Amino acid sequence: MNETLGRGYARIEAIRAARGEALAMPEPGAPPPDRYNSVYFTLFVAGAAFLLPFNSFIMAVDYFQHHYPKSTIMFDMSTVYIVSACVAVITNNLLLDLFTYNTRITFGILLSLATMLFVAVCNIGWDGFSSSVSYTINLVAIGVVAFGCTIQQASYYGFTGCLPPRYTQAVMAGESAAGFWVSLDRIVTKYSFSQPKRSTFMFFVFSILILLGHSMLHHVMMRHPLVQHYLRLTNESRHRRRIQLHLNPTEDATLMESEVGEPSYGVLKLQSPAPSSGVGGVLARWAVARAIYPYMVSIGLVYFTTLSLYPGIASEVPSCRLGSWMPIVLMSAFNLFDFIGKIAAAWPYEWSRSQLLMASGLRLLLVPLLLLCAAPRYSPHIVGDIYPIMFSVVLGFTNGLFGSVPMIMAPSRVGREHREIAGNMMTLSYNGGLLSGSLVSYLLLGMLGPPAETCKVYPTPVLPTIPPVPINSMNATYVLPLH
């Protein structure tokens, strides 16, 4: 096999020389440095930025519930977002090779920016639409935002699949940080402006400013020498595979060295390129899916469990001590430990496929545990504030850890030229878990039944009094009071 490859690469160089192309030079021993971690920081901001629009809609829950009383606006927005995100992931997979990373990401940024501007100015600032029209505008806006954000998300995961694994972890850590940033932003704007309309408008303005900053950082990052280095490696790898297929079309897949000095034992290598459409594209995606299916199943189970409980069931857990702060405490605990879990995913430990599948399966036990903290509504089976907080901590940490590790490891299990497909296939599985989990959350909420009155306080009943007993002594009558 090595002799065949040697002859093949010799013929490749001969073809390039005959065409007047420059001969392939040996690759440098090390990539350009990421000085000041600028690429890492930009991808961290990107992970926060493409989830920022959705988090902005969700964290404006007080405004929407006040504006649309007795409606299911929050559940409707979550469902519309996830359905639109799944459509966006499928579209991104089908049109993968027609547009560059930069084109797809820029399109997603502009789509999200335009929608956020329209909602902030016309639907919140001006507020000249009727309630039903405004309600519909918000749902359409969340669908458009979901499409733009998911195009960015899928493209970034495909893009970071071509970079070292730490940059995929940067994107996922940024996703967790998005929840904290939006929460802090909402607290500041709500505290600073007493009027809900003005505070929500300023809240959206701050989110728009962050999106603008993210757009500028992204275009600077794409010209960074480190990024250019790995994109060049990916393009050259694809080019080599096309020529090698021409020289030896009978071979389909093999174990070989993907790059100079880059061993790939246990890594699937497809000799053919990955066309974006047609039978070849389907076969390439099927081959990649077979190589990474344990990671796809693992991440799908992780987000299925999370969306089954968060934010639906978590917002329904009662507390007589914390009252309306209970959902905020549970969601803050989840977001904090989700962020910690994503940071822990960068720890240099090689998780096996069976370990990831087992951990993802065990997380399903959290569904009945947290459900029993809210059911039945009038008297939950698991009583006390500490238990649901503890379950939220475990849910958040395991979501951050086991939701990141498969996404980081999967692209390294295929050849460099197919890593973008692997990243997009993982995102497809991730969104499938989100969609199925959100549908199950509706079922669990339906099992809880109608909302019950929160923590009735019964006054202490007045103790019955015993009338005084008269005592006759001689000719005098005494009344002895009873205490």
Q: Express each pLDDT in 164-174 by its tens digit.
A: 888 887 887 78
Mean of the pLDDT values across residues 258-264? 43
Q: What type of residue sits at position 405?
A: V
Domain with CATH 1.20.1250.20 in the chain: 36-223, 282-450
Domain 282-450, CATH homologous superfamily name and number: MFS general substrate transporter like domains (1.20.1250.20)
Q: Could you give the CA distance from residue 99 to residue 92 in angstroms, rounded to a whole number?
A: 10
DSSP states of 270-322 as a string? ESS---SSHHHHHHHHHHHHHHHHHHHHHHHHHHHHHHHHTTTTGGG---TTT
Identify the CATH class of 36-223. mainly alpha
The pLDDT value recorded for residue 117 is: 93
What is the reported pLDDT for 475? 57
Answer whether residue 449 shows pLDDT above 60.
yes
Rounded-to-integer distance, Cα 316 and Cα 457, Å? 19
Of 304, 481, 253, 299, the residue nearest 407 (C-alpha): 299
* pTM of the shown model: 0.66
Residue 308: Cβ within 10 Å count: 25
Query: Any idea which residue has 């970034």 for tokens?
Result: 156
pLDDT digits (tens, 9 = 90+) for 13-61: 433 444 444 444 434 557 788 888 899 999 999 999 988 998 888 777 7
Say what the pLDDT of residue 23 is. Answer: 40
pLDDT of residue 460: 45
Mean pLDDT of 325-343: 82
> For a pLDDT cut of 90, what percent of the chain falls above it?
26
The pLDDT mean for the chain works out to 78
| pLDDT at residue 233 is higher than 90 | no
Which residue's entry shows tokens 């899916």?
289
Highest mean pLDDT among 74-83, 142-151, 264-273, 283-292: 142-151
Q: How far apart are CA 168 and CA 407, in angstroms?
A: 8
Amino acid at site 23: L
